[in-house]
Amino acid sequence: MTAYVYILECADGTLYTGWTNDLEKRLAAHNAGQGAKYTRVRRPVRLRYNETFARKEEAQAREWAIKHLSRAEKLALIEAAEKTS
């Protein structure tokens, strides 16, 4: 099963990191107010970064690692990915 880790930018400028096995559906859920409690009051959210993994355990481990990065490190990760795409 393919899994994804992602970073969203919320309407208030904060960043939210999560994982899912259906990125489009999860993004729609966040924007519909059915995602994480954190994003419900910070809509709309915008997908800024994502990585793809073969197994959910890999995505979950990467989510944990990203959540422990500073905001500046997360922004650098996003910027680096935007430059290569």
Residue 59 pLDDT: 98
Please name each of the domains of the chain with its CATH number: 3-80 (3.40.1440.10)
Q: What 3-state DSSP class applies to 58?
A: helix
Q: Are strands 15-20 and 46-53 parallel, antiparallel or unpaired?
A: unpaired
Percentage of the chain beyond pLDDT 90 is: 95
Q: How many CA atoms lie within 13 A of 37 on its CB side?
A: 0
Percentage of the chain lying above the pLDDT 70 cut: 100
The pLDDT of 56-82, averaged and rounded, is 98
What band does 85 get if pLDDT is binned at 50, 70 and 90?
A: confident
Asked if 19 contacts 61 with a C-beta cutoff of 8 angstroms, the reply is no
Average pLDDT, the chain: 97
Could you report the per-residue pLDDT of 23-50, keeping only the tens digit for each? 999 999 999 999 999 999 999 999 999 9
